[in-house]
A and B are shown apart, each in its own frame.
Chain A
């Protein structure tokens, strides 16, 4: 039940999924496949952010279309053919921009929610 709530919350801010994916790719430096990204996001957010597959793959397509990630087929850790995603320099620029925007937004929200 709690998980479900968390899931809903994660989806409340549209457009953030792309940012989270880019961030994951940037931090990991290594190319990741879809399941890896989902696991990573889940783990790092203490299970709060459960990325729905139905959103993850379309989001990855969007990033590829914009040219912020590149895709390549390769071997996964347990020797399976998988599609790996890697962030591009344009993607990094975009992430920087989005992070800045997000910080500003977050600050503003915090100002409202917890006035000093």
Chain B
């Protein structure tokens, strides 16, 4: 109650401050008069009495201040008061304010954006209940990092024998050709094949209906499916009656047993889940299953890993043929494993933006010091009339913080904008969990912390310097120039050196990525990427249920495409280069075991000519290589190198897929050059080409996903409309999918490097700009401080050139020290970049030299302007300057 009354009185005071001041003044006046009368009665003269009274009374101003403070909201009000003062100071020096806020907004904005990504991808727990108990299991080898998937038999073995996990699930993405079709149209969707425990492992269950039963998940189970909330709303109008109805999935009919809750995601957005229908006796050696387990309560990741490793030895004993020499089971926290591929990249980017912020900070601190020197007298006066040191530090700190907060507001906006830009720039699949990137309280706390730290740093820098300065000398006109130049000059030089060092490290990082990028782009992919249009038409349904029918459609389509204006030639392949991979095992004639895996390609005879590949030996396919003629194949040089190191591959025989898939023994009739498949930075895989006319029936699914390649005379995407029309005329139910130029595909294969490069160059550019502004500021200030000296030199006969070199020498010295320091930082830090580089060492001397020179030139340019100003000094005016 009392507190409340007190607050009320305080507020009352606050709104009647003027009255308070008047009353206090009156009270004091009365007091003085009474006292003076009293003194006079003691026998003093009127003036003496007045003087005596005044002296005894002391500092009236201070009295009023302290009286007022009693009523004020103390700290809060002081902060507001200081902030208002800070704002007034900022408005009075707009150029300074603009540069400072601009620098801070850039620094804090970049940090906000990158930290948001780091936070969402690396730090935030996965969006499942108790997700830190989720562990991924996979193959592990001593040499390579854990990460690859498991085969069905291995999953079965783990599933049956482990004791560490509450539940274990195996999942596999359905083919990119998964579709729903109701006769009127076809919708391509994304789906997952999952084992029954999928929902138990993730701890998320269907919102409607139920999960899969063990019977449904067994090889005798029916065709059932669980659909996503998104698909349910999109295609089925959120109808509750969906449970128990069938949907036309991949040409079959699947009964819907459940609908997942909205917002549920598993490795991205999925539309449909179907049961794995695991075969306990499977011998399938395809390592295609992602295996996730939920640790039992209290079981540690290490324990699970040890158990998994020991289980592998039991597996080896039971199935020696399926276990490789150094192989074992690995287990790792799912989140850590999922994001392992980008951890280095993201931390490096965060490091880079922290550098940018440090540069911005150094820049603003050095600007503040310049201002501090100009304000030396103001501060000295304030201190001499009784401003406490502490109060003054608070004032300067407030100024720093106000600046930081304005900068941070701009930075936050910039960061949000930058984040959207990053999201758009982000190559597909480069960063796992990319769709989870969003601001949250952690980002805001990070931003707040960054703001307070930066504000404190450049608030205290000038405070420290000013309070050290000597009051007396500052008050004296003229003396202040040299005194102020002393300490602040040294501090500012240090800041500039630091800025240049940091900017150098950033620029070297960007330079290394640029070299990486050009190295990659200069790699020949083994075919010509320009003027090449690619797309697919994915034939489905009754009309195309045989390989032969699909083949006929493709041949008819090719005939049409070839006649289109602007098309030079056209061909078809089951998989484009630089796109995804497709492997099959193969066996050479006379062998009983598979000899390895090979990239499997079905092509039309014109394919090599369209791609501008070269046949090294033998021949191409022709139209005569028909369904019923001799079974043949063409292999690439990588295949020959691996399998026939010292003999000709021509006329050798092999089967690909073999057994039930394609038992034909094919004669090798040609050898063709290698092409890149996974990406420009990985070696070309061995590949085998089969004439499309001889497509085995088992491969018709592969054939359905085949892509056309059209060599065009002009910009390839320009004819995509014409192609669309032709496809519609061919069969209006056919979709035109994945229309891309080969250049786009080639760019996509270096998209991650392009992403790294563009971000780091952006940060390096900002860093460079800020440090150039920094060095310019210092030099301009120095020149203005030395006007007198320069004038004297010129009066004594110094030439323009000498004055110029006097100033430049100082700048070059600062830049030189900064560059040396930067090289040290670079040597210490760029090693962490190794995993992002290609064909270049982390301490590439050429890059280091070029960047060092670049910085030196930038520094000299930044000094040149102030140096020019110095030469324009009129000795007469300069000497009168003081």
Contact = CB atoms under 8 A, between A and B. Distances in A.
Given A35-B30, A54-B58, A67 B67 contact: no
Contacts of A73: 23
A5 to B, nearest CB: 16
Contacts of B58: 52-54
B71 A67 contact: no
A81 B30 CA distance: 8
A66 B2 CA distance: 8
Interface string A23-59: 0000000000111001000000000000011100110
A34 B62 CA distance: 17
A34 B34 CA distance: 11
Given A52-B58, A54-B58, A35 B67 contact: no
A18 to B, nearest CB: 11
B661 interface: no
A58 B5 contact: no
A57 B9 contact: no
A95 to B, nearest CB: 15
A58 B30 contact: no
Judged by DSSP, the binding face of B is helix
Given A64-B9, A65-B9, A53 B28 contact: yes
Nearest to B8: A67
B2 A35 contact: no
Contacts of B30: 33-35, 76, 80-82
Interface of B: 2, 5-6, 9-10, 13, 23-24, 26-28, 30-31, 33-35, 56-59, 62-63, 66-67, 69-71
A58 B9 contact: no
Contact of A65 (B10, B23, B62): B10
Contact of A34 (B5, B6, B31): B31
B66 A54 contact: yes
B66 A35 contact: no
Contact residues of A: prevailing secondary structure:
helix
A61 B2 contact: no
Interface of A: 33-35, 38, 52-54, 57-58, 61-62, 64-67, 73, 76, 80-83, 90
Contacts of B9: 64-65, 67
B27 A58 contact: no
Nearest to A90: B2
A76 to B, nearest CB: 8
10 contacts: A33-B30, A35-B30, A35-B31, A53-B63, A54-B57, A58-B67, A65-B10, A80-B33, A81-B26, A83-B23
Nearest to B5: A67
Given A35-B31, A65-B10, A54 B59 contact: yes
Nearest to B62: A54
Contact of A53 (B6, B10, B33, B57): B57
Nearest to A57: B67
A67 B63 CA distance: 21
Best-surrounded residue of B2, B27, B66, B69 (most CB of chain A within 10 A): B27
A82 B70 contact: no
Contacts of A76: 30
Contacts of A80: 30, 33
Nearest to B13: A65
Most buried by B among A53, A66, A76, A80: A53
Given A54-B62, A65-B70, 8 more contacts: A35-B30, A53-B56, A54-B57, A54-B58, A58-B67, A58-B70, A61-B67, A90-B2
6 A-B pairs with least C-beta separation: A61-B70, A58-B66, A35-B34, A35-B31, A58-B67, A54-B63
Contacts of A82: 27, 30
Nearest to B65: A58
Contact of A62 (B23, B63, B70): B70
A57 B35 CA distance: 15
Contacts of A54: 57-59, 62-63, 66
A111 B117 CA distance: 69
A57 B27 contact: yes
A67 B70 contact: no
Nearest to A60: B67
B50 to A, nearest CB: 15
A65 B67 contact: no
A67 B2 contact: yes
Nearest to A81: B26
B167 to A, nearest CB: 66
A52 B60 CA distance: 12
Contacts of B28: 53, 57
B26 to A, nearest CB: 7
A111 B13 CA distance: 45
A67 B66 contact: no
Contact of A58 (B13, B35, B59, B63): B63
Nearest to A62: B70
A7 to B, nearest CB: 11
